Every structure is written in structure tokens, then in C-alpha cells.
Amino acid sequence: MEFVENAVGRLIPVEIEGRKLKPFAGAFADNGGGRKASPLIPVTKPGQEKLCSIKESIEKSGLKDGMTISFHHHLRDGDYVVNMTVDEIARIGIKDLTLAPSALFPCHKPLIEHIKNGVITKIEGSMNGPVGEYVSYGGLPKLAVLRTHGGRARAIEDGDLHIDVAFLAASSADDYGNANGVDGISAFGPMAYGYADAMYADKVVIVTDDLVPYPCAPCTIAATHVDYVVVVDKIGDPERIVSGTTRITRSPTRLLIAKYAAQFIQESGYLKDGFSFQTGAGGISLAVTKILGEIMIEEGIKGSFINGGLSSYAVELYKKGLFHVLYDGQVFDRGVIESFRNDVKHIETPMTMYANYHSKGCLVNRLDVGFLGATEVDVDFNVNVNTHSDGLLLHGIGGHPDVAAGCKLSLITIPSYRKRIPVVREKVTTVTAPGETIDAIVTERGIAINPRRVDLIDRLKKSDLPIVTIEKLKDRVEKITGKPEPPRLKDRVIALIEYRDGTIIDVVREVEK
């Protein structure tokens, strides 16, 4: 196999499985061009009905061996829809499918059986947990492709990822397919991850456990884009659908990181009127959200918007009038759904609106500060969110590289080591987000500012924050943890890490057992 080095120094195959790869060339090297994909021209006449069983929907959709099916992951680790659909497809006897979910969770472990029996031979989507582990050990016949949230919408719109049939869970829908995620017992919030699927898939099936009289309104996905409606007993386990961390960390280490991050923003000059930010779901993120709110009240600062995934802590800041818009791609806890249902300035953001690089301007471009996580960072400020240091592919990409590239200040807020394994490394195992898009690494043992940000280094010269070089930070951590072991990898490339513009930023190799 022929390889070429990309802009973050990783070797990328020139061609693999018949696909010519474009090596990553820099976060903003791509300039678009050409035209997007074209959806089918359909007709549904008055009186035509859409209600059917999951089995009938598969048969009527014309699903055949070798095709691509998709799902959204708003039901997270509580999802029943992926497993029940693939089970049914397997019973019908269809094989060699590409599975293109926006993400998979531990609850999708049963899919491993369908990989073994040849129903699924390729995955284009993020993997969290057991399926990722199985793929890491070489279990998937064909290559996996992981994309960012914005990158997945881009790939669908550009035609890189053609979906034959999308099966989209809705917590409420009518018999014509108008569907939302805010009503019903399985309410999960926005349906933003499934929006591009609905717009571009040849066939779209809505799967719901709450059939309401026509019209289901408001809807995220309109009947105009739905072929079939399937009613099932339960689309998921309500207890696990909204499964993000909902409590602020009590760990003194993590609280310290949150405190440092908030102070860093304050001193860097971004925390002023019109301020906007995005955080993740973890305990540090929630602590940061809370601390920022306290500072804003104290200093009389009025922000503009919070970009979600949203927690109840974010909604609280909105309710207090500290921010006048909530942008919402997914909810991290149940408390957010009520606000999403009722507040007119709590706005759903389909992934293109959120983060599609091939658009005329997505909203991450207008974000001030992004608080982001990592499994590893390295001295070039490259970030890994996909693999652990042993090489196992255990996490999806999420919107990480999208936010990092778009926002004015991207902060990686992480503990300096986990289970005696250092997080700050010479080279990350996998590059998910390029160092050029990362502004600072905030750990409990020191804060490293990217040398590219001369302005920031200058501005924080007199800060009492523990600002150090990334090399010094790495040394400090290694003094505690020792030098880390390299992962034991085989040659075979088992997954591509696609950057938001469709170029390949890294590959993931098979892990030795």
C-alpha cells in the first residue's frame, strides 16, 4: 500500500478499498467547489398511506445487499431502534450492508453478531464502546470511517455518504411522518443528527412509540421527507436515553481545571458582552458553565448564545437572562427538554447549521470559546478523542474538530493523567483535531498555550495561572506516570479519521490482542 504524509505528519494511504483518499492539508485548505448530491424526485399522492411494520418498511424501501442504512444517535445508550431494525434486516436475509449511524453506544453491542454473520460489513459512523473495540481487533471486514458531526452532514450533502434507507427514531410522529423528539414518553430533544439523513436518503422511515393524530407539530422532520412510518412498543429505555453526566464534578482536580479554564477566559479578554461558548457533557464542563455564570452575574456581563449539547446548567443561565439564545443539537439531561419544547429562542440546530464546513457559514464559526475534552494531547497540540493510548477505538468524534476549528478560543480541559497513563504525550496515538485549531491545554498541573497564539501568551504574561510550555507540562506529568508504553499495533488500517472537510487526518490500525 502506498502512503503519503499529511499536514499533521500522519501517513495516509493513497487509495484504500477503491476509494482515493485526500490527505488532510490544513484546517482551512479546502475551498469547496462543485455541486452537492441530488435527492430523489418522489411523489406521494393524496390518500397514500405510510403506516407499516418495520419489516414492511424494509421490504417496501427496496433495501438490498450492499446498500447503506443510517440512524441518528439521539437515544444514545438507551436506543432500541438500531438493534431491532438490524435484527429484522438479518431475519429477511439482507447482507453486506454499510451501517451509517451518527454514533453507536454500548447498547449496540449485539451488532457484533451481525458483523459476524455478514449482515454488516462496513461502518461509517462514530463508535463508542464495544463495537469500536471489536473493530479495533480487526473484526469488521471492510474499513470503518469516522466523521465529525459537521463532517457527517457534509459527507451526506456532498454525496460522499449516500444513504439508501434512513431509519429515524422519533419520540412523537403522525401517520404521515411529521416527527419530533420533544413529545412522548421517550422524548429526547432535537432530532438534529438525523436531519441530513432525512433530506438526502433515498428512503426515510420514521420509527416511533408515540403515534399522534395528524399533524404532529412542531416537527423537526416533515412528512415531505418521509416514506414510511413504523410504530413500535418502545424506541428506547427512557432512563438511559438522556445519559450524559448531569452532576457537577466533586473531584478537586477537575474542579481546579474548571476554575483555571474560567479564569483563563476572563484574563484572555473573551468574557465580555456578547460572549458565547460551548461545552460538553462531562463534570468539568458543567462546573465551567456554573462558574462562568457566577462571574457574569458578578461583573454584569450579558452573553449572546450558548451552543449545545445543552445541560440544565446552560438552561439556567438562559433563564437568568445571561444569554438570549440557546442553540441545541442534543440535550444532556431531561431538564433541557422542557425548555426546548417551550422557549422560542431555544433553537434546534441541524448538523449543517451547527458545523458543516461546506456551507456558507456554520455557527461554530461565530463561537467565542469551546471547552473540549481529549483522550490525549501532544506537544504539537494535536488532540486525540477517538483512541485510548493502547490503540483501542472506543470513542466517536462528536463536534470536537468542528468547534476547535470554528471558535475563537478552543480550550482542552483535561486531567493531566488518567489511571497512571499520561494524557500529554510526545505524539497522540490518533490525531482527531489538528494542533493548529487548539489554543490551550488546561490541566490541573499547568496550562499550555499554543505558541501560534502569540497574542494570548502576551496577554496572559502577568497571569498568576500556572502557564507553562507544553513540553514542560509533558515532563511534569511523566515524572508522575513514567514514560508511557506505545500501543501494540498491526499494519492493517481498520478505520479512517475523516476531517470535517472530507480529507483524512489519520488512520486507525488494528490492535494486537
Binding string, residues 257-286; x marks residues near a copy of itself by CB under 8 A: -----------------x------------
**Cβ 460 to a copy of itself, closest distance in Å?**
22
Local structure of residue 486 (DSSP, 8 states): P
Task: Evaluate the omega torsion of the peptide bond into residue 218 and state whether it is cis, within 30 degrees of 0.
Answer: yes
Exposure of 445 in the CB half-sphere (CA atoms within 13 A):
21
Based on the shown chain and the rule CB under 8 A, indicate whether residue 50 belongs to the binding site for a copy of itself: yes
Q: How far is the CB of 170 from a copy of itself (least distance, A)?
A: 15
* Nearer of residues 235 and 351 to a copy of itself, judged by Cβ: 351
The phi, psi pair for 463, rounded to 5°, reads -65, 150
- Cβ closer to a copy of itself: 264 or 340? 340
Selected from 7, 347, 379, 465, the binder of a copy of itself by CB under 8 A is 347
Nearer to a copy of itself, 264 or 327 (CB): 327
Q: How far is CA 340 from CA 207, 334, 485, in A?
A: 21, 10, 46
- Of 170 and 470, which has the nearer Cβ to a copy of itself? 170
Amino acid at site 24: F
- Comparison of 158 and 376: residue with beta carbon closer to a copy of itself: 158
CB atoms near residue 45 (< 10 Å):
5
Site for a copy of itself in 93-112 (CB under 8 A): none
Minimum CB separation from a copy of itself for residue 183, in Å?
11
Residues binding a copy of itself: number (CB under 8 A) = 63
Q: In this structure, how many other beta carbons lie within 10 angstroms of the beta carbon of residue 18?
A: 5
Cα 371 to Cα 349: distance, rounded to the nearest angstrom = 19
**CB-based contacts of 18, cutoff 8 Å, min separation 6:** none
Residue 42 engages a copy of itself in binding (rule: CB under 8 A): yes
- d(CA 120, CA 5) in angstroms, rounded, equals 31
What letters, b where the CB count within 10 A reaches 16 and e where it falls short, cover 187-206? Answer: bbbbbbbbbbbbbbbbbbbb
Residues 399-418 touching a copy of itself, rule: CB under 8 A, are 405-408
Nine cell digits for residue 225: 421527507
| Candidate segments 124-132, 258-266, 342-350, 473-481, binder of a copy of itself by CB under 8 A | 342-350
Find the binder of a copy of itself among 2, 18, 20, 34 (CB under 8 A): 34
283-299 and 252-268 are packed helices; what angle lies between their axes, rounded to 10 degrees?
Answer: 40
Build a one-symbol-per-residue string for 284-313: x at contacts with a copy of itself by CB under 8 A, - elsewhere. Answer: --------------------xx--------
* Type and span of the H or E element at 229: strand 228-231
Q: The C-alpha cell of 375 is what?
A: 483522550
44 binding a copy of itself? (CB under 8 A)? yes
In 395-434, the DSSP E strands lie at 409-413, 417-418, 421-422, 424-425
Asked if 77 interacts with a copy of itself (CB under 8 A), we say no
CB of 13 or CB of 177, closer to a copy of itself: 177
As measured in angstroms, the least distance from the Cβ of 327 to a copy of itself is 7
Stretch of residues binding a copy of itself (CB under 8 A), selected from 38-46, 95-103, 139-147, 384-392 = 38-46
CA pair distance 474, 235, nearest whole angstrom? 45
Pick one of 298, 344, 419, 420: the residue that binds a copy of itself (CB under 8 A).
344
Binding residue (CB under 8 A) for a copy of itself from 2, 43, 419, 485 = 43
Does 361 sit near a copy of itself (CB under 8 A)?
yes
469 is an interface residue for a copy of itself by CB under 8 A: no
- Which residues, in sequence order, are bridge partners of residue 231? 208
CB 367 within 8 A of CB 361: no
Full DSSP string of 160-218: SS--SEEEEEESEE-TT--EESSSSTT--S--GGGHHHHHH-SEEEEEES-B-SSP--S
Of residues 76 and 225, the one with the C-beta less far from a copy of itself:
225
d(CA 399, CA 391): 21
In the complex with a copy of itself, the residue whose CB is nearer, 141 or 321, is 321
Which of 214/319 has CB closer to a copy of itself? 214
Cα end-to-end span (Å), the chain: 23
Closest approach of a copy of itself to the CB of residue 139, in Å = 35
* Among 134, 313, 327, 381, interactor with a copy of itself by CB under 8 A: 327
Which residues, numbered 193-232, are part of the site for a copy of itself (CB under 8 A)? 204, 213-215, 217-219, 222-227
363 lies in the site for a copy of itself, by CB under 8 A: yes
What is the Cα–Cα distance from 433 to 9, expressed in whole angstroms? 13
Residues in contact with a copy of itself by the rule CB under 8 A: 28, 30-48, 50, 158, 176-177, 204, 213-215, 217-219, 222-227, 274, 304-305, 325, 327, 341-342, 344-345, 347, 352-353, 356-363, 365-366, 405-408
